């Protein structure tokens, strides 16, 4: 988001580093132990680890990757079970999946392609709400949301210090 004059916009007035780090810590805590079987499959797959190298190069952190894995796993399992999000029953069933996916696995190859990439976009859009922004997804350009988070909220610069979980040697969950 560099302007025509070559300058970058300032951090957004809602940006608060301490609060952002608190939310990142909360995300790690909320995900830890929820999908360990799938993580084992992905961390053992060299192709997946190579895809993560590119994600790290693009500024993604483990909390982004883990959120995308969890959301994509939920979508894959919902599709496998035939859960439709267009009904209240389907929405309730989908919400309940969060407590049921720990032992469910899909091949690492399922975590590639457009739907996998979309999991990162959806993660970015949901982060906007956590930062206190109104979601207007019908009118929002997803890339604009990612760009805003990158430039004005330092979304791709903050993490809890630890060895990355998807590079060799494999790191572990941050000490939180």
pLDDT tens digit sequence for 37-75: 999 999 999 999 999 999 999 999 999 999 999 999 999
Tell me the average pLDDT of the chain: 87
The answer to whether residue 38 sits within a structural domain is: yes
* Tokens 């350009």, located at residue: 141
pTM over 0.75: yes
| Total domains in the fold of the chain | 1
The answer to whether residue 65 sits within a structural domain is: yes
Specify the pLDDT at position 17.
80
Model confidence at 101: pLDDT above 70: yes
- Give the integer Cα–Cα distance in Å for 65 and 112: 12
- Give the integer Cα–Cα distance in Å for 62 and 65: 5
Query: Between these two residues, 134 and 19, which has the higher pLDDT value?
Result: 19
Q: Is 174 left (phi over 0), alpha (psi -120 to 50) or beta?
A: beta
Model confidence at 137: pLDDT above 80: no
Q: How many CA within 13 A on the CB side of residue 5? A: 3
The answer to whether residue 101 sits within a structural domain is: yes
Model confidence at 76: pLDDT above 90: yes
Specify the pLDDT at position 31.
94
- Burial environment of residue 3 by CB neighbours within 10 A (0 to 12, 13 to 18, 19 or more): exposed
The answer to whether residue 18 sits within a structural domain is: no
Write the CA distances from 112 to 14, 69, 116, 163, integer angstroms.
33, 10, 5, 23
Mean pLDDT of 70-88: 94
- Give the integer Cα–Cα distance in Å for 85 and 95: 10
Mean pLDDT of 99-117: 95
Range of the domain at 116: 31-152
The answer to whether residue 11 sits within a structural domain is: no
SS3 119: helix
């Amino acid at each position: 988001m560099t302007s025509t004059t070559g300058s970058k916009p300032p951090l957004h007035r809602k940006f608060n580093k301490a609060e952002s780090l608190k939310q990142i810590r909360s995300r790690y805590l909320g995900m830890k132990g929820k999908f360990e079987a799938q993580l084992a499959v992905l961390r053992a797959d060299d192709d997946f680890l190579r895809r993560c190298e590119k994600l790290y190069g693009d500024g993604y952190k483990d909390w982004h990757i883990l959120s995308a894995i969890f959301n994509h796993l939920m979508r894959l399992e919902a599709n496998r079970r035939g859960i439709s999000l267009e009904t209240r029953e389907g929405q309730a069933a989908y919400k309940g999946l969060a407590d049921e996916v720990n032992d469910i696995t899909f091949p690492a190859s399922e975590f590639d392609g457009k739907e996998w990439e979309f999991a990162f976009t959806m993660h970015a859009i949901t982060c906007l709400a956590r930062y206190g922004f109104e979601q207007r997804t019908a009118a929002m350009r997803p890339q604009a949301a990612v760009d805003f988070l990158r430039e004005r909220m330092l979304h791709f610069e903050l993490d809890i210090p630890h060895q990355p979980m998807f590079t060799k040697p494999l790191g572990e969950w941050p000490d939180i």
